[in-house]
Amino acid sequence: MKTQDTDTPISLQRRRLLQGLGVTGATVAGSLCPFSAHASAGASGATHAPQSDATLQSQSFYGTHQSGVVTPRPAAGIMVAFDVLATDRAGLERLFRTLTERIRVLMQGGAVPQIDPKLPPPDSGILGPVVHPDNLTVTVSVGDSLFDDRFGLASAKPRQLQRMTSFPNDALDTERCHGDLTLQFCANTPDTNIHALRDIIKTLPDLLLVRWKQEGTIPPVPVQPGRPEPSARNFLGFLDGSANPKADDAKLMDGIVWIQPGSEEPAWAAHGSYQVVRIIRNYVERWDRTPLQEQETIFGRRKYDGAPLSGGTDEFTEPDYRNDPEGKITPLDAHIRLANPRMPGTERNLILRRPFNYSNGVQNNGQLDMGLLMIIYQASLVEGFITVQNRLNGEPLEEYIKPIGGGYYFTLPGAAGPDDYLGRTLIQATA
């Protein structure tokens, strides 16, 4: 990180910067809000902005695995799917190499290059003259369509990678599905993600075309010393992520998330993962008109403390169905029971969920267009998401949710160091 002034805390530098803009800020505020008390004549100061001491948090780019998968989930995420415009393998390699370089730079942060002001600035400037990492990760995955006839990759396609097909409750909108390549942006603030996305769009106009984009957020959870970190709530008001496998348990992740060397997958794919994206609209008005008891029966958990209906006082109690074979306590078709029946063998279907809540505006009927941007990682697409979703087909929750977009992708192995690039093993395996 190139900070020009290493002895000065960043927050102070930032305050100085804001003070520099203060006069303009006050003028603008004054003209927009004529009744504002702060706009009194002669006053100067920045327009209030939320403050954060987390903008210097950063994740490392290089590694066996890409970051952004088992990395703790920050508050803001964007999933963007692209069409790849490269016309040959050289173009594809240039795409992978350039993406690698931009992601590395963006995750590290630093001063924005200064150039002749007669030229368009190379950086959008939305994060100011010094870009803070702000916990940014950008994770690159490739879709089934990248393995078509264009680049000679067909023989190297991960064995389970396929075009997402519709499940019975889906109403897929093809304009929000599929794509040759996805970038998952995660950061502490949405602006950091948008900055990174705009950088990549500006850098690669000849190789990438945005196909669809979905943004999402996660509400912060209270810190409770001495207690495990709670899950955040989704837009149905339930804790989403309870009973997710522990992402900081490397051995567990090797089993559930990461393709292992020597597996049935092509060798190049080792340390990658299958990524599932589902844009799931929630009918929140209808949900809010549903009795609490019914909401809890549909999920199989209590709404406020997250405890499973089978017992306990919080979300950390393991659901227990052993004495409830007929579903008298936890209905057999409750969401959590179908998703994970906790029967011998069903541990093979464990997946790592990384959801964000989205809110897009209003539908034609005046109802809110919001729901869940569900992102899932797993070492086996078939035993993971596809099996779990097939078990969920027909669940009572379906009356309140409608999957409308997304796709299946393969998250590339990580770049090991400065001589490596994302996608190298795939390119070399098909040379």
Beta bridge partners, 138, equal 185
Which residue of 36, 87, 313, 363 would you call a contact of another protein, by CB under 8 A? 87
CA–CA–CA angle 152, 153, 157 (5° rounding):
155
Phi, psi of 386 (to 5 degrees): -60, -40
Between 48 and 118, whose beta carbon lies closer to another protein?
118
Q: Which of residues 191-210 bind another protein (CB under 8 A)?
A: 202, 205-207, 209
Residue (of 381, 374, 322) closest to 349 by Cα position? 381
Task: Report whether 122 contacts 201 (CB < 8 A).
Answer: no
Of the candidate residues 10, 17, 39, 85, the single one contacting another protein (CB under 8 A): 85
Segment 118 to 147, residues that bind another protein, using CB under 8 A: 118-120
Measured from the CB of residue 83, what is the shortest distance to another protein in angstroms?
Answer: 5
Q: Where are the beta strands (DSSP E) in 105-248?
A: 110-111, 130-131, 137-143, 181-187, 208-217, 232-233, 239-240
13, 83, 198, 360: which one binds another protein (CB under 8 A): 83
- Kindly tell me which of 118 and 328 has the beta carbon lying closer to another protein: 118
Q: Least distance in Å: CB of 201 to another protein?
A: 8
For another protein, the closer of residues 209 and 252 by Cβ is 209
- In 66-105, at which residue ranges do the beta strands (DSSP E only) sit? 76-84
Minimum CB separation of residue 143 from another protein in Å reads 14
Binding pattern to another protein, positions 103-122, x when CB under 8 A? Answer: -------------x-xxx--
**Contact criterion met (CB below 8 Å) for 379 and 260:** yes
Closer by beta carbon to another protein, 209 or else 392: 209
# binding residues, another protein (CB under 8 A)? 12
Name the minimum Å distance from CB 268 to another protein.
26
Q: Identify residues 371-410 at the interface with another protein (CB under 8 A).
A: none
**Which residues between 208 and 227 bind another protein (CB under 8 A)?**
209
Q: Can you tell me the distance from the alpha carbon of 309 to that of 320, in angstroms, rounded to the nearest whole number?
A: 9
The 10 Å Cβ neighbour count of residue 294 is 10
User: Closest separation between CB of residue 238 and another protein, Å?
Assistant: 39
Site string for another protein, 33-72 (x = CB under 8 A): ----------------------------------------
Considering the rule CB under 8 A, would residue 181 count as an interface residue with another protein?
no
Give the residue carrying structure tokens 């290089």: 62
Which value, in Å, is the radius of gyration of the alpha carbons in the chain? 23
Nearest to 259 by CA among 37, 74, 412, 97: 412
Distance CA 317, CA 242 (A): 9
Residue range at the interface with another protein (CB under 8 A); choices 49-57, 70-78, 82-90, 398-406 = 82-90
Whole-angstrom distance, CA of residue 423 vs CA of residue 427: 6
Whichever of 1 and 201 has its CB closer to another protein, that residue is: 201
> For the chain, how many residues are written?
431
Can you give the binding site for another protein, defined by CB under 8 A?
A: 83, 85, 87, 116, 118-120, 202, 205-207, 209
